[in-house]
Amino acid sequence: MSRIGTICVKDAKDNRTTKPHQLPIYATSSFELESVEEGMAIFKDPMTGHLYGRFSNPTIDAVADKIAQLEAHNTNVNDPWGVMTSSGMSAITTVILAELVAGDKILTQGNLYGGTTELIKNRLPLYGIGCTLTNLTDLNQVRAALQRDKTIRLIYFETPSNPGLDVIDLKKVAQVAKEHDVITVVDNTFCTPIIQQPLDLGIDYVIHSSTKYLNGHGNSITGVVIGSGAQRKKKVWSTMKAIGTNCNPFDAWLVNNGMKTLALRMKQHSSNALSLSKYLESHPKVASVNYLGLESHPHHSLSQKQMSSFGGMMSFEVVGGLSSGVAFMDALNIGSLAPTMGDVDTLIMHPASMSHLNVDPTLRLANGISDSMIRVSVGIEDIEDLCEDFDHALQSI
């Protein structure tokens, strides 16, 4: 029999007799091996078992697999997989470093999320990975860029874009990329797999800031890379392991809880955003409204083609410019001023002074992100309360 000090040190016996109803949180940095032989086998191929928390974890793996299943649900995508990371930005960094080396270039759009723009334009060039900006909604420009510069090895884009809500034809861009043997990566955070499934349209990798809609409750920071095929998974997983962009089990567990209501939430987000955008479009103190569900949006038809609904993201400008916009944001009661999106409650943000503050103003303005733009992540509150709150704030300016 062990002495008392040894009993204190050894882990308590797992007395589970039946399967837990909820996914357990495996809060462990390492995993105990049954034998030296088992250890040798897993160390030869760490993707076949659990060794160390930076490599893999049962909680994280289960959630990553679930997201991959959603992205491939009812499609022709075979062997889908997911690798969770510590944030959306680490997901982007991981997949880029998995595919590119010094001397390669990324073809991308000018109206990306500000953090992604900063990574691609300012940070990656320090390590020899360049970038070229073009209008990815114009396939002629995409083809011309690929023909002109053979060092372009990857196309990275958002559709819809953040915060401009430009929509890029996923299927056509994927076809052009394959003609030139170029990898495609798309950020699907705004839509989630409930609304849009890029892998089924030929895209190679999908990333999410799963901090946002996949979680939906604003209580964790995570990212995920989704693809298909064992070779690509090994590339991404090996890069994640090497640079330490791994997720943690508690945050993955929170994402799993959030996803249980994802289908219901996305339906309500989309319904509320459509109603609010129509209300604002007719309001005398609103100068313009940018929402894909409005027939006035230039990409409305393409959105109908590749999205099952129009999502919960919109932007607008008030009459009177920036000063009026600031007064409006300060007067809201239900909508909260916060630098994020995708939560159950309505969130507003001023891109020029927040998400895109570090983006060159010339680039920002050239891509329609004006000083007076207000981005809205429309929540799932009662729509009547939202419209009344927005009207109250507009009347105050």
Q: Active-site positions?
A: 54, 113, 187, 212
For residues 136 and 160, give the distance between their C-alpha atoms in angstroms, rounded to a whole number.
Answer: 12
Q: What is the DSSP code (8-state) at residue 112?
A: S
In order, the DSSP letters of 27-73 are --SB---S-HHHHHHHHHSGGGS--BTTT--HHHHHHHHHHHHHHHT
* Amino acid (1-letter code) at residue 196: Q
Half-sphere exposure of 64 (CA within 13 A, CB side): 30
For residues 372 and 23, give the distance between their C-alpha atoms in angstroms, rounded to a whole number.
Answer: 44
Per-residue b/e over 332-358, b at no fewer than 16 CB within 10 Å? bebbbeeebbbbbebbbbbbbeebbee
Residue 377's H or E segment, with its range, is strand 374-377
Contacts of 291-294 with C-beta under 8 Å, sequence gap 24+, read 291/165, 291/315, 292/160, 292/165, 292/167
In order, the DSSP letters of 174-239 are HHHHHHTT-EEEEE-TTTHHHH--GGGGT-SEEEE-TTTTTT-SS----EEEEEESHHHHHHHHHH
Query: Is there a contact between 80 and 226 (Cβ–Cβ < 8 Å)?
Result: yes
Alpha carbon distances (Å) from 311 to 169, 202, 229, 270, 273: 17, 22, 29, 4, 7
Residue 368 CA, chain-centre distance (Å), reads 21
Query: Is there a contact between 255 and 63 (Cβ–Cβ < 8 Å)?
Result: yes
Helices 170-179 and 139-148 cross at an angle (nearest 10°) of 20
For residues 225 and 78, give the distance between their C-alpha atoms in angstroms, rounded to a whole number.
Answer: 16
